[in-house]
Amino acid sequence: MKQQTLAIHACARNAGENERFVASAPPLETAASFHYRSAADLTAVANGEIDGFVYQRYGNPSAAALQRQIAAIDSAASALACSSGMAAMHIGLLTALRDRPKTILAANVLFGQTFQLLQLMEQQGFLARFADPCDLAQFEAALDQTETGCILIETISNPLLRVPQIDSIAKIASQRGVPVVVDATFAPPVMSRPLESGATAVVHSVTKYLAGHADVLGGIVTCGEADAEYMQELGRHFGANLGPFQCFLAARGIKTLPMRMEEHCRNALLVARALERHPRVAAVHYPGLSRHPDRAVAERQFDRDTQGAPMSGGIVSFEVLDADQAKTFRFMNALQLVVRTLSLGDVHSLITHPATTTHRNIGEKRRQRLGITDNMVRFSVGIEDPDDIVADVVQALESVD
Ligand SMILES: *Cc1c(COP(=O)(O)O)cnc(C)c1O
């Protein structure tokens, strides 16, 4: 079955085999514990001998439904719902690092918080090293420099929107027995499924496209059969579970993920093309544009939409011509529809200034080297009418001097 069908049906099948009906909505079960008539049954469920629920942290109907739904659309054997994307990132890394050397080879451009998580993990005895995953020769050389515990890459980097070849990286990693963790937040399961390309574990911020409506903070880790039990064990004991209400909202949101994502991609391409033509824009970064360095990789790696058009994601970054930080801020403040915020990937069109927010902590020199300039904005294109989005950006560009 295809993603749109799985997204709608996979969370509903929670009734037992003998039930005569299935509920139309995902379960919202807030119970912290489950009470048993028989002490023997409680023991058997608690020990995993028969299916059931005993205590919310060990599993509950709302999390089970969401996990089943995401596992289905992400081609995963198992999924773990976590209290945030960052909690999911931590558990994803620790799942991959089981019995491995404590070195993480990470992409040189990462989501800002992920970079900070790696710095904290370094205080705990881990070591993070960085290489450019879009330069395969450099990445392979870095892999051989020291014993690597696991690799960490993102499907689409932030904010420059580079697209590494996940299948090639998974191949050079598997030749050396190194697990690969992929943060797929920018390209949710309807666009790409890194487990199919050989990734070990995939992390999504549910807060973004998956839940999609800016009303849930959550994360998910997915993995194959071999790592499922260990990942679930980490989930049970770390206790960073996603609460039932957030699970309910996320599962509800995911039912429309495939069509939302198609719309995000279509709108983003329209916005990118309009910006590319605009005289007050110095540069546009979008993997759907023919000038983007990873255009071919994106086209091969990401699914086409139901009309046959390539999907390249919903984020467009661009640089305002001849603008310092103050002028870039004036442009942002002139937007009337597009909102200024730190988030991304929900129904609203959102704009962020990476140099002073998401990438402030990486330091001026590194920012310059990576090309995260003061005149760059990251635009998460929403699913409003594309004419309204483009008109707002154009009027804001034309009103600043
Ligand atoms: C938002 C985000 C995260 C973190 O997710 P939270 O739900 O905010 O904890 C991780 N990676 C990427 C790429 C993100 O965009």
How does pLDDT run across 46-98, given as a tens digit for each residue? Answer: 998 999 999 999 999 999 999 999 999 999 999 999 999 999 999 999 999 99
Question: Which of 67, 66, 56, 121 is CA-nearest to residue 90?
Answer: 121
Considering the chain, what percentage of its residues have pLDDT values greater than 90? 89
**Could you tell me the pLDDT band of residue 237, with boundaries at 50, 70 and 90?**
very high
The reply to whether ligand 1 has any atom less than 6 angstroms from the CB of 354 is no
Atom of ligand 1 nearest to the CA of 345: 15
Angle at 350 between CA 347 and CA 352, to 5 degrees: 150
Burial of 264 (0-12, 13-18, 19+ CB in 10 A): buried
β-pair partners for 129: 105
**Could you tell me the pLDDT band of residue 297, with boundaries at 50, 70 and 90?**
very high
What residue spans of 225-288 are helical by DSSP H?
225-238, 244-254, 257-277
Contact 105, 152 (CB under 8 A): yes
The reply to whether ligand 1 has any atom less than 6 angstroms from the CB of 208 is yes
Per-residue pLDDT, 128: 97
Atom 2, ligand 1: residue with shortest CA distance: 205
Structure confidence by residue, pLDDT tens digits, 348-397: 999 999 999 988 888 888 888 888 999 999 999 999 999 999 999 999 99
The reply to whether ligand 1 has any atom less than 6 angstroms from the CB of 185 is yes
The reply to whether ligand 1 has any atom less than 6 angstroms from the CB of 116 is no
How far, in Å, from the CA of 207 to the mean position of ligand 1? 7
* Best probe residue, ligand 1, of 109, 111, 242 (max atoms within 8 Å of C-beta): 111
**Could you tell me the pLDDT band of residue 18, with boundaries at 50, 70 and 90?**
low
How far, in Å, from the CA of 86 to the mean position of ligand 1? 6
* Best probe residue, ligand 1, of 83, 93, 117, 208 (max atoms within 8 Å of C-beta): 208
Per-residue pLDDT, 16: 58
How far, in Å, from the CA of 222 to the mean position of ligand 1? 15
How far, in Å, from the CA of 363 to the mean position of ligand 1? 20
Per-residue pLDDT, 19: 72
The sign of the CA dihedral 394, 398, 162, 97 is negative
Per-residue pLDDT, 24: 87
| Residue 337 Cα to chain centre, angstroms | 25
Structure confidence by residue, pLDDT tens digits, 136-180: 999 999 999 989 999 999 999 989 999 999 999 999 999 999 999
How far, in Å, from the CA of 399 to the mean position of ligand 1? 33
Across the chain, mean pLDDT equals: 95
**Residue 3 reports pLDDT greater than 90:** no
The reply to whether ligand 1 has any atom less than 6 angstroms from the CB of 352 is no
Per-residue pLDDT, 14: 52
Atom of ligand 1 nearest to the CA of 88: 9
Amino acid at 275: L
The reply to whether ligand 1 has any atom less than 6 angstroms from the CB of 183 is yes
Mean pLDDT of 286-302: 97
Separation of alpha carbons 72 and 80, rounded Å: 13
Per-residue pLDDT, 2: 87
